[in-house]
Structure 1
């Protein structure tokens, strides 16, 4: 039996709007067979628990999606086995997840059932203070990030308002829609839009998993400086696909969670990715579309000094953001020292084995 394939992404992110969650899009309630909401404190083994389930299913030939944590990209916030519509999610702050349809769809697995409460309570004051400091540090990071985004927006506005030929960009959108959809008309139903992040601003810097996502038969790479219209092109294509009944996967910007950067239309085996200084992917036989070709060079030259200054200031602030998030992670890691010694990991392992057997039962039901 061949191993399954891995796709990796982020369900939430550290953005200019603070922590932003697309957790509701991980696995839709109406589609899900089972969603396990894993509860417990730092260091109790939630990520390891989910990762082990994921790799067990991979070894059995199932494709698996690993949902990474933006505040620690080595840690998992979720695992999805798409072919059987089963997911395990970290249900703790800042992305609190509770059952929406208890029993029918989702349920809680509380790893806190396996800790020594008395041992943890001895460190109550230290835990409270560490949690407060983590919160303060993240809020500081988000203020820096909001400031950085304001500078980024200034460059976007300069280019969009007077430096790019929007009519030419519209022609690109129109040509792509004809290539993708031809004469296919509006469907009697609308496709589903699944929203997530392919990249994140993490303690390790800018991290993306595009190489695990952009693997369709046909792939387009959109290039263009901020403001040239890559988002507008992708938004038009997404809306056209949904209107024609195609499900899509939309991956949003780590800085601005309302800005689409990558689009996959699985049924057409077509994907679009935005390539820039902060994220790119090497795709064999891809089709490149460079919107910088439609810039007015004379106008751009007029604002070049401002644009370059803005870019330098943005990068400086982004570096401060990353260092601040890294500091928050180090403080959060200290919290694990209060929990790990007070955990009954033998019981956690028994819970894992029971959960795995249930996941396998759902897999058998799907196959029968």
Structure 2
């Protein structure tokens, strides 16, 4: 039987710069393989191959996608084996884990790699400039979005919002006793701004849950605050909680998942709008419950102007990410000539054999 696959982002270019949440998803692992090397494409290919192998062996697998290229991979986690493979460039530490460093340049022609490295500094500087331009565009979009939020905040009944939160917390957790364990809280991104636009894996992450709550509302109607309260209540009970941050504003939340109780609750509005398609799905409409009626109609012109301006800057930021992706593809393309596939196979087997030995030892 093929294992389940869960996909998500743990690093993203946001309105507040690049944010990395990788560490959070590697907590509790016994062994982590850190891939060090010049080519991200080579590291991503190794991660994909390992994920396919172990998923086909029946193990559940988590694939962490790269926000600068959503078709590439930053990391792999095999929860049942407590094993992870990390290939992103951000600094990484895994408290309590045994770490194996794998040098993927062993699979490349050294002389060709050395010639590419001469251009690497200029390439990285140009790439950094494009990412900074994207962050600035997203930051401008966030500032405009704050103006949009203000319209609804001024017309919102906060007592009613508190009541909705209390009702949901009671529905989700009831009179459940605190568990005799500490909660494990993992932080991820709900979606990410990628060269192809905003991408998320919400159906993949939620389809196997018994109950899904779709939050509808507007900017500023308390969706993130509601989610923070639900996450905090679950954590206080000792439940393991997955917290999904907004890919636009990382200090805001877009989804909470508690798999032990089989539920998720998420912001289901543009640019990640979903609608119920199961009998057990339920809508929570914060606009209807908490905002003064006819607010949309009364402020229609201002809302349209702010939305148009906000989306313009978001699109502009994505354009910079697209430019960066084209530059990355061109630079990474050089490495295709340098790959020694026999040596690449050896690198793969080195990691796979180590995971096999770890799995065998864990069974004893």
> TM-score, normalised on structure 2?
0.94
Q: After the TM superposition, which residues 70-149 of structure 1 pair with which residues of structure 2 at under 5 Å, given as runs? A: 70-92=67-89, 95-97=90-92, 105-149=98-142
Pick the aligned partner of 2:205 from 210, 213, 233: 213
Name the CA shift for 1:319/1:62 in 2 (closer, same or farther; >3 Å). same
Pick the aligned partner of 1:361 from 344, 357, 361: 357
The more displaced of 61-70 and 37-46 is: 37-46
Query: Within 1, Cα distance between the matches of 2:181 and 2:94?
Result: 28
Which structure 1 segments of 5+ residues have no match? none
Aligned to 1:181: 173
Which structure 2 segments of 5+ residues have no match? none
The more displaced of 34-43 and 244-253 is: 34-43
Report whether the alignment pairs 1:41 with 2:66.
no
Aligned to 2:22: 23
Pick the aligned partner of 1:315 from 307, 311, 314: 311
Pick the aligned partner of 1:275 from 247, 251, 268: 268
Report whether the alignment pairs 1:352 with 2:343.
no
Report whether the alignment pairs 1:58 with 2:55.
yes
Aligned to 1:14: 13
Query: Within 2, Cα distance between the matches of 1:241 and 1:340?
Result: 47
Deviations 1:80-100 (A, max 9, x none): 1111111101142xx232566
Structure 1 vs Structure 2 CA RMSD = 1.8
Total equivalences in the alignment: 360
Query: Within 2, Cα distance between the matches of 1:100 and 1:171?
Result: 40
Query: Within 1, Cα distance between the matches of 2:271 and 2:248?
Result: 11
Structure 1 position 199, deviation (Å):
0.8
Aligned to 1:289: 284
CA contact (8 A) 1:37 1:99 kept: no
- Could you say what secondary structure the match of 1:122 adopts? helix
Pick the aligned partner of 1:166 from 158, 169, 180: 158
Moved over 6 A (4+): none
Aligned to 1:341: 337
- Could you say what secondary structure the match of 2:72 adopts? strand
Deviations 1:243-273 (A, max 9, x none): 1111100111000111111111111111111
Report whether the alignment pairs 1:32 with 2:29.
yes
CA contact (8 A) 1:187 1:243 kept: no
Deviations 1:63-110 (A, max 9, x none): 111100000000000111111111101142xx2325666xx5212111
Name the CA shift for 1:5/1:177 in 2 (closer, same or farther; >3 Å). same
Query: Within 2, Cα distance between the matches of 1:274 and 1:55?
Result: 31
- Could you say what secondary structure the match of 1:279 adopts? coil
